[in-house]
Amino acid sequence: VKIQQLTVIGVGLIGGSFARATRKANKVETIVGCGRNEANLIKAVELGVIDSYKLDVKEAVKNADLVMLAVPLGAMTALFEQMKEALKTDAVITDAGSVKSSVINSIKTVYGEVPPHFIPGHPIAGTEESGVEASFDTLYNDRRVILTPLDNVDESALSLVKECWESAGAEVSTMSVEHHDEVLAATSHLPHMLAFGLVDTLAQQDEQKEIFKYAAGGFRDFTRIASSNPVMWRDICIANHEALSDKLDAFATEMTELADAIREQNADELLDIFTRAKTARDKFIG
């Protein structure tokens, strides 16, 4: 199925790459962009990422067959509100927000329930860059995309969104909202907390010690995610505070055991922990 009009709200790295990829795959006829930064939208037209843009949300979505919301979690509720009256009745809505329970709550606030044509989604992809100039048509190639449709989902809407992502080269999985938020708490949100926490701990000790001066390449890799956008991460933490708190508790328990083993110089336990970790990483990630 070819989509007549795709509207992308938030034409940055994620939204711009979605536009580029679906265009390249010949899945869409026309792409309309929308956002608050007009210079970015002009750039997106110049780059051929979108065909045209509207600053007004209602104008941008009124003829859309598919709307992709690629905006911060904190902007979702207001956008659903503005879109609601303007959308065609059979328009499909999807998003790329990284905490699905938060987006579900946003749309429930506006519609009272989750509309069957809304397909919550999350591409597990990204770079450290942002803005439309960072977007590229292979960002989602061989990457995973998680969709978290509810029980009342319209199956043809689900198929449409799935096809779009697959046309971009992504492998699409479907899971519950709760499972998604727990998995992301573990693999993304918790590691970001550790990186932010480590760098902040050392920064507070650094004045006297010049610690960072002697940091090697491993430290650079390990702390890269601590250079991420603080506002975005504040929003993610608050949106996913329950699942993230659980993961932080599990991690704290592990670290207490590890710290005890170090203090007691318990060689066997240390070797067990490190061996289990290395085996798991080499098997699953290496």
Binding marks (x or -) toward a copy of itself, 82..121, rule CB under 8 A?
A: ----------------------------------------
Q: How far is the CB of 102 from a copy of itself (least distance, A)?
A: 12
- How far apart, in whole angstroms, are the C-alpha atoms of residue 20 and residue 160? 17
**Amino acid identity at 25:** A
All residues at 6 or more sequence positions from 251 whose CB lies less than 8 Å from its CB, including other chains? 190, 194
The helix (H) or strand (E) run that includes residue 40 is helix 38-46
Give the interface segment with a copy of itself, choosing from 51-59, 84-92, 129-137, 199-207 (CB under 8 A): 199-207
Q: How far is the CB of 100 from a copy of itself (least distance, A)?
A: 13
Site for a copy of itself in 117-156 (CB under 8 A): 124-126, 143-144, 146
- Tokens 């067990």 identify what position? 272
Q: How far is the CB of 237 from a copy of itself (least distance, A)?
A: 5
90 or 254: whose CB is closer to a copy of itself?
254
Based on the shown chain and the rule CB under 8 A, indicate whether residue 55 belongs to the binding site for a copy of itself: no
Give the interface segment with a copy of itself, choosing from 25-33, 63-71, 133-141, 265-273 (CB under 8 A): 265-273
Based on the shown chain and the rule CB under 8 A, indicate whether residue 36 belongs to the binding site for a copy of itself: no
User: Is 33 within 8 Å of 60 (Cβ atoms)?
Assistant: yes
Nearest to 139 by CA among 112, 164, 170: 170
25 or 194: whose CB is closer to a copy of itself?
194
Give the interface segment with a copy of itself, choosing from 13-21, 42-50, 150-158, 206-214 (CB under 8 A): 206-214
The helix (H) or strand (E) run that includes residue 73 is none
58 or 179: whose CB is closer to a copy of itself?
179
Q: How far is the CB of 31 from a copy of itself (least distance, A)?
A: 26
Report the first-to-last Cα separation within the chain, whole angstroms: 38
Give the interface segment with a copy of itself, choosing from 21-29, 32-40, 150-158, 184-192 (CB under 8 A): 184-192
By three-state DSSP, how is residue 62 classified? coil
Task: Compute CA distances 59 → 35, 82, 98, 169, 201, whole Å.
Answer: 12, 10, 26, 30, 48
Output the CA torsion sign for 152, 156, 159, 163. negative
36 or 276: whose CB is closer to a copy of itself?
276
Site for a copy of itself in 218-257 (CB under 8 A): 218-231, 233-234, 237-238, 241, 244-245, 247-252, 254-256
Based on the shown chain and the rule CB under 8 A, indicate whether residue 258 belongs to the binding site for a copy of itself: yes
The H-assigned helical ranges of 47-189 are: 57-61, 76-84, 100-111, 155-167, 177-184
All residues at 6 or more sequence positions from 252 whose CB lies less than 8 Å from its CB, including other chains? none
47 or 175: whose CB is closer to a copy of itself?
175
